[in-house]
Each structure stands twice: as structure tokens, then as C-alpha cells.
Amino acid sequence: MIKRPEEIALLAESGRLLASVFARLDQLDLAGMSTLQVNDLVDSFIVNELGARPASKGQYGYAYALNASRNHVVCHGVPAATEILQSGDIVNFDITLEKNGYIADSSKTCLVGEVSPQAKRLVQVTCEAMWKGIRAVRPGARLGDIGHAIERHARRNGYSVVREYCGHGIGRDMHEPPEVLHWGKPHTGLLLQEGMVFTIEPMINQGRRDVETESDGWAVVTCDGQLSAQFEHTVAVTRNGVRVLTLRAGEKGPD
């Protein structure tokens, strides 16, 4: 569970490369593109330009480089040539990248074209909730502090937090201990120690928190059909606080 400094350096390199994938996504005009087109661009960029590996490809039998979760899809949306992004959509791209044997994991909910104020607010609050959780990370804090910070911010803004899916430890394997819940009570749960590396990835719903899995066995959707958004970073517990290993250009960071 505890990573050595040299391992964190390798994880940070994977995180830096993954951040550049999201910088590439930011350059795209998503309206009119299929989610499969986005997947194929990301796959090619990771392999041919970064010399890395899309870590989700082949994991658990999954065939793609990313998850594309649009509007009421909470997570695990499968890219498809028939799913065309349209102005007004929100879409989460969840991407993992492996370099030198170490995996970084990050996601971002993108606004496609002209998005309603209600959708824009959900996306903004979800991003803020992730950062609230990240800012709770420090040696001596507990996992419950992270979840409490996230859930409190979501609930104060009238939203609900999905409970069926959570963050996780990460390193040579995509999913390692501990589980990082996005709700909880302060001062409870596992004690955070320097060298821990895990993801924080809240999924926040406009309506009820209830979700269900579609017939494809992958896509998870809101039961009430309302929107869901997600943001994710891979973080390391440092001596003085937290380091965001997947920090993207233009992001302010935890301070």
C-alpha cells in the first residue's frame, strides 16, 4: 500500500503523460464526433505519441482506451460509433495510462457546445467536490475526512453522491487497496500515511443517488434519468500534505 519515492516518481511520470492526453482532448471540437472517434484518437495518442499503454484496454475484458459517460450515464460508458456528441451534452472521459509498469487514472466531465446552466452548475460543483476531497488529504487524516468533505459540498448544493463506486489505491495494478469512499464521517476510517497513492473520483447526481447497470453489462446510469458528472485525479500522500500526480495544465492544485 505504501509506495517508495522511486515508485511515486514513476507514477508521477505516468500522471504527467495522462495530463497531456486531457490537454489533447481540450483541443477537440467534440460536437459532431462519436465517442468511438474520441476513443480512437486517445488510443493512438497514448500509444504512438507518448509511447505508453491505455491501461483499461484488455482490463476485465474491456476493449477500449477510455470510458465515455454521457449525460445520465454515471460511469463505464462504452464508446460507440453510433453515439454522436451534440451541443448541450456533458460527457465524462475516464482514462488510465500505464508507463514503465505504473498506472495513472484520471477523468474529466466536458461541456459540449452550449450547455444549460443547470448542467454547467452540476459539472462545476462536482469538480469543486473532488478538490474538497483532495484538500482533506494529509498524513494523520483519515479516509472518512475525504468522503465527508465531498458529500458535504454535494449535499449543500442540492446533489447526491453515488455510493456504489469509489476511488481506489493504484500503482502497478489499476485497482489496489484502499477503497476511497466519497461519503463518510470525519475522523473515521483508515489513517493516511506518507507514500499512499489513490484516486479520488466522486460521481455526483442531479437527482437521486440510485443507479443501475444497463444491459451491456458496463454502462451505469441514473435511475431517474437525471444528469451525472464525475472528476478524478490520482494523488499521493506526502510528508506535508498531498501531491496531485495527474494535475493538468491550468488547474490550480490543492492549495
Does the annotation place 175 within a ligand binding site? yes
Say if 252 falls within a structural domain.
no
pLDDT of residue 255: 65
pLDDT value of position 252: 77
The CATH number of whichever domain residue 103 belongs to comes to: 3.90.230.10
Task: Give this prediction's pTM.
Answer: 0.97
26 labelled binding-site residue: no
Please report the pLDDT score of residue 159 as a whole number. 98
Cα-atom radius of gyration of the chain, to the nearest Å? Answer: 17
Q: Is residue 215 assigned to a domain?
A: yes
Other C-beta atoms lying within 10 Å of the C-beta of residue 148: 23
Tell whether 60 is covered by a domain.
yes
Q: According to the model, what pLDDT value does residue 250 have?
A: 83
- The reply to whether 98 sits in an annotated binding site is no
Grid cell for residue 149? 468533505
- 187 annotated ligand-binding residue: no
Asked if the structure places residue 248 within a domain, the reply is: no
Q: What is the pLDDT along the chain (255 residues), one digit of tens a residue?
A: 899 999 999 999 999 999 999 999 999 999 999 999 999 999 999 999 999 999 999 999 999 999 999 999 999 999 999 999 999 999 999 999 999 999 999 999 999 999 999 999 999 999 999 999 999 999 999 999 999 999 999 999 999 999 999 999 999 999 999 999 999 999 999 999 999 999 999 999 999 999 999 999 999 999 999 999 999 999 999 999 999 999 998 887 776
Q: Domain residues for 41?
A: 3-242
Number of domains in the chain: 1
Question: Is 173 known to sit in a ligand binding site?
Answer: no
148 is in an annotated binding site: no
66 found inside a domain: yes
Question: Does 231 map to a domain?
Answer: yes
Known binder of ligand: residue 43? Answer: no
